[in-house]
């Protein structure tokens, strides 16, 4: 389990780890995969599987996810997060704490969610963000998701802190968009952290550097043992 750093893609993590393991353990080939993409601007839990454990990727992907983060109300962006600049602003003087907490309750349950245009969802063999970055309009399909918990953990307008528990495939950026729309003021995601995947928690994860150091230490010990037994 890796605590993904800010601005790294999930693929960046896999690529770096695969290269390190192959180099230190002198492996020509190695299967490495992750159990669920995490946006570059998000941090937190990424489950990495290697070798025969890659067969368990679907199992981990199907588990519920927990996230914490911050939504900024009163402004929208095309990507629903900080990847793109603010494109519209709205008045938030009508908001109060009760309205915000009531709006969150309205998201609990099953729903059809429209993915962001700036997403990794595949359309005709290409990622949706590839079209979006070229200003090409594409038609995305909604997908069914379930939100079992949506807790407002702090309010300091225009920022609202939250904790959310949801099924796989949920775009929390899209929740931020829809949350802003529900409050008639727009909104976008400014902070996102995956804190849990099923029973696995981010506090039990390691940084990429820590894991790489452990692999290096283990490889050094193996090399010393080989020399001793020659």
Instruction: Sketch the domain layout of the chain as residue ranges.
Output: 1-63+199-230, 64-197
The confidence score (pLDDT) of residue 229 equals 45
The confidence score (pLDDT) of residue 119 equals 64
Cα 120 to Cα 108: distance, rounded to the nearest angstrom: 25
Catalytic: 81? Answer: no
Would you state the CATH architecture of domain 64-197?
2-Layer Sandwich (3.30)
Pick the catalytic residue from 3, 12, 39, 96: 39
Q: Which long-range contacts (CB under 8 A, 24 or more apart) does 18-22 make?
A: 20/212, 20/215, 20/216, 21/50, 21/215
CA 19 remoteness from chain centre: 23
**Average pLDDT, stretch 161-173?**
95
pLDDT digits (tens, 9 = 90+) for 66-125: 999 999 999 999 999 999 999 999 999 999 999 999 999 999 999 999 887 766 666 666
pLDDT digits (tens, 9 = 90+) for 180-223: 999 999 999 999 999 999 999 999 999 988 988 888 887 777 66
- What is the pTM assigned to this prediction? 0.87
Task: Judge contact between 46 and 10, C-beta under 8 A.
Answer: yes
The confidence score (pLDDT) of residue 2 equals 92
Tell me the sheet residues that pair with 68.
163, 193
């Amino acid at each position: 389990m890796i605590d993904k750093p800010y601005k790294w893609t999930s693929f960046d993590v896999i690529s770096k780890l695969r290269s390190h393991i192959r180099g230190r353990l002198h492996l020509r080939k190695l299967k490495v995969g992750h159990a669920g993409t995490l946006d570059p601007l998000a941090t937190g839990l990424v489950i990495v599987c290697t070798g025969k454990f890659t067969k368990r990727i679907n199992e981990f992907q199907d588990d519920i996810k927990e996230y914490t983060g911050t939504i900024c109300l009163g402004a929208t962006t095309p990507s629903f997060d900080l990847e793109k600049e603010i494109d519209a602003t709205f008045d938030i003087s009508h908001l109060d704490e009760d309205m915000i907490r009531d709006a969150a309750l309205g998201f609990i349950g099953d729903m059809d969610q429209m993915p962001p245009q700036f997403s990794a969802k595949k359309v005709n063999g290409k990622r949706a963000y590839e079209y979006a970055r070229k200003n090409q309009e594409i038609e995305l399909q909604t997908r069914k998701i379930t939100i079992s918990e949506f807790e407002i953990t702090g309010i300091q307008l225009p920022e609202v802190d939250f904790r959310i528990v949801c099924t796989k495939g949920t775009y929390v950026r899209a929740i931020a968009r829809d949350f802003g729309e529900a409050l008639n003021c727009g909104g976008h995601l400014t902070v996102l952290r995956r804190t849990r995947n099923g029973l696995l928690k981010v506090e039990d994860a390691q940084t990429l550097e820590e894991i790489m150091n452990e692999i290096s230490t283990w490889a050094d010990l193996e090399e010393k043992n080989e020399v001793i037994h020659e």
